[in-house]
C-alpha cells in the first residue's frame, strides 16, 4: 500500500487527532501514534497529496518525490506493536485522512 504521511509530534499531534476525529464524526482515516521518543502522530493521506502544498512549521511530510523516498513506521493491525499503535486503524482499502481538511486544521492549530 502506498500513501503519503504527515507527522505532528507530541501534544500538538494528539490534539490534532482529537480535532480531526471531531470534524469527521469519529472517523478521520488511518492515524498511527508513537508512544515513545518524539511521540509522533502520523496521518496517512493519499499518495502524492502532500508534495505541492505548503505546510506550517511543526509538520513533517513523508512522501515520494523525485529523488526522495520516505518510510514511516506502521504497526500491525492486531497484537502488541508497542511503541506503535493505531489511534484510528484503516477501515477500507483506499480510505485515507482527507488531506485538505488536515492541512486546514493543522494550519489553524499551529498558527
User: What's the pTM value of the predicted model, to 2 decimals?
Assistant: 0.95
Total of domains in the chain: 1
Domain span holding position 14:
4-110
Range 73-108 burial, b when 16+ CB lie within 10 A, else e:
ebbeeeeeeeebebbbebeeeeebbbbeebbebbee
What would the pLDDT profile of 52-69 be if each residue is shown by its tens digit?
889 999 999 999 888 877
**pLDDT per position as a tens digit, 66-111:** 887 788 889 999 999 999 999 999 999 999 999 999 999 999 999 8
Grid cell listed for 38: 518524539
Amino acid at each position: 500500500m502506498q500513501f503519503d504521511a504527515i507527522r505532528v509530534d507530541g501534544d500538538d499531534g494528539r490534539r490534532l487527532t482529537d480535532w480531526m476525529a471531531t470534524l469527521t464524526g469519529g472517523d478521520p482515516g488511518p492515524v498511527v501514534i508513537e508512544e515513545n521518543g518524539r511521540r509522533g502522530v502520523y496521518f496517512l493521506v493519499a499518495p502524492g497529496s502532500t508534495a505541492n502544498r505548503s505546510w506550517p512549521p511543526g509538520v513533517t511530510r513523508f512522501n515520494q518525490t523525485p529523488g526522495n523516498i520516505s518510510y514511516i513506521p506502521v504497526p500491525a493491525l492486531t497484537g502488541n506493536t508497542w511503541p506503535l499503535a493505531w489511534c484510528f486503524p484503516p477501515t477500507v482499502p483506499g480510505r485515507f485522512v482527507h488531506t485538505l481538511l488536515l492541512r486546514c486544521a493543522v494550519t489553524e492549530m499551529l498558527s
